[in-house]
Structure 1
Amino acid sequence: MTFVSKFKKEEDGTILIFVALCLAMILGFAALTFDLGRMASTQTDLQSYADHVALAAAGELDGNADAITRARTAAENMIADRQFFADGDQTLDSAADFSLRFLTGLPDPAVDPDDDDAVDGFLTNDASAAIMVEVQATPRTVFLPFARGLATLLGAAVPNEQVGATAIAGYTGFACDVTPLMFCIPGGWTANANVGQAIQLRTGGNDSAWGPGNFGFLDPQDIGINPNGPCAGLNGSSLYICLIAAEGNLTKCVSQRGVDTEPGQRNGIGSAIYNSRFDLFLATMNSLRNDPAYAPGPQVIAGWENSTGQCLKNNPTISDDTMPFPRDDCFDAGNCATLVPEGAGRFGDGDWDDGRAAYLATNYGTGTDPLNPLQPHPLIADGTISLPTGNTRYQMYLDEITKFAGRDILEGRSETGRRQCASTTNPDPDRRTFIAAAIDCDANPVVGRAVDVPVQEFVKVFLIQPLEQTSGTDFDIYVEVVEQVGGAGVGIDEGIFRDVVRLYR
Structure 2
Amino acid sequence: MLRIVRAFWHDQRGLALILFSVTLPAIIGFSLLAIDMSRINNLHNDIQKGTDALALAAAAELNGRTDAWTRAENALGNLISNTTTFSDGGIVALPGSGTTTVDATYPACRSRGQISWCFLASIPANDSALITSANYAASASVTRFIMVAAQPETLTTIFPISFISGNTAANGFTFGAVSVAGFTSGVCNYTPVFMCNPYEMVNGTNSAGGVTLEQAVTDPAVHRRLIELRLVGNNAAYGPGNFGFLQPPDDVGNGAQALAQTIATSTPRGCYSAQGVSTKTGQNNGPVQDAFNVRFGINASGNAFNSPEYGPASNVRKGASTGGNGNGNGNGGGNGNQCPSYNQLTFNATGNMGLPRDATTPYMSGRMGDGNWNMSGYWSTNFGSTSYPSSWDTTKPTRYQVYKYEIANNLVGQASTGGEVGTPPSACQPPVTSVDRRLLYGAILNCNALQAAGNNLSGNSTNLPVEAFASFFMTEPVPGASSGGSVFVELVDITGRGGQSTLDNFLRDEAQLYR
Band the TM-score falls in, shorter-chain normalisation: 0.7 to 0.9
Mapping 1:419-458, distance limit 5 Å: 419-420=424-425, 421-427=427-433, 430-445=436-451, 446-458=457-469
1:206–1:449 Cα contact (<8 Å) kept:
no
Counterpart CA distance in 2 for 1:81 and 1:386 is 48
Query: C-alpha displacement at 1:160, in angstroms?
Result: 4.5
Give runs of aligned pairs for residues 208-287 of structure 1, distance below 5 A.
208-221=236-249, 236-248=255-267, 250-263=268-281, 265-266=283-284, 268-284=286-302, 286-287=303-304
Deviation at 1:83, TM superposition (A): 5.0
Q: Does 1:477 align with 2:487?
A: yes
Whether 2:423 is the aligned partner of 1:418: answer yes
1:102 is displaced (CA, Å) by 2.8
Task: Work out the percentage of aligned pairs sharing the same amino acid.
Answer: 29
May I ask how many residue pairs the two structures share in their alignment? 460
Q: TM-score scaled by structure 1? A: 0.81
After superposition, the C-alpha distances for 1:137-180 in whole angstroms (9 at most, x for unaligned) are: 1222211121336437x677725521311111122321111111
Residue 48 of structure 1 corresponds to 49
AA in 2 matched with 1:456: E
Q: Distance in 1 between matches of 2:235 and 2:275?
A: 25
Q: Deviations over 1:262-301 (max 9, x none)?
A: 22634643432111111112224x3534x22111112111
Q: Which moved more, 1:45-54 or 1:494-503?
A: 494-503
Deviations 1:7-57 (A, max 9, x none): 996473666555444443332211111111111111111111111111112
> How far apart are residue 471 of structure 1 and its match?
2.5
Show the 5 A alignment for 1:83-482.
86-90=87-91, 92-95=93-96, 98-109=114-125, 113-124=126-137, 126-148=139-161, 150-151=163-164, 158-186=170-198, 187-188=200-201, 189-190=212-213, 192-193=215-216, 194-221=222-249, 236-248=255-267, 250-263=268-281, 265-266=283-284, 268-284=286-302, 286-289=303-306, 291-306=307-322, 307-309=326-328, 310-311=333-334, 312-313=340-341, 315-319=343-347, 320=349, 321-330=351-360, 336=361, 339-340=362-363, 343-353=364-374, 356-360=375-379, 363-364=381-382, 377=383, 380-381=384-385, 391-405=397-411, 408-420=413-425, 421-427=427-433, 430-445=436-451, 446-471=457-482, 474-482=484-492
Deviations 1:229-272 (A, max 9, x none): xxxx6654443222111112x22431112111122634643432
Asked if the contact 1:283/1:314 (under 8 Å) is kept, the reply is no
Residue 387 of structure 1 and its aligned partner are, at CA, apart by 10
Report the alpha carbon displacement of residue 462 of structure 1 after superposing the two structures with TM.
Answer: 0.6
Residues 286-330 of structure 1: per-residue CA shift (max 9 Å, x gap): 3534x2211111211122222424422452241413132122222
Equivalent positions of 1:34-45 (< 5 A) are: 34-45=35-46
Give distance in 2, aligned partners of 1:85 and 1:350: 57
What is the RMSD computed on CA atoms of the aligned residues? 3.2
Describe the shift of the 1:238–1:8 C-alpha distance in structure 2 as closer, same or farther (beyond 3 A): farther
Q: Distance in 2 between matches of 1:241 and 1:304?
A: 24
Equivalent in the alignment of 2:108: none
Residues 176 and 103 from structure 1, CA distance in 2 versus in 1: closer, same or farther, beyond 3 angstroms?
same
Relative to the length of structure 2, the TM-score reads 0.79
| Runs of 5+ consecutive residues of structure 2 not aligned to the other structure | 98-112, 202-211, 217-221, 335-339, 452-456
Tell me how far apart the structure 2 counterparts of residues 174 and 308 of structure 1 sit (CA, whole Å): 43
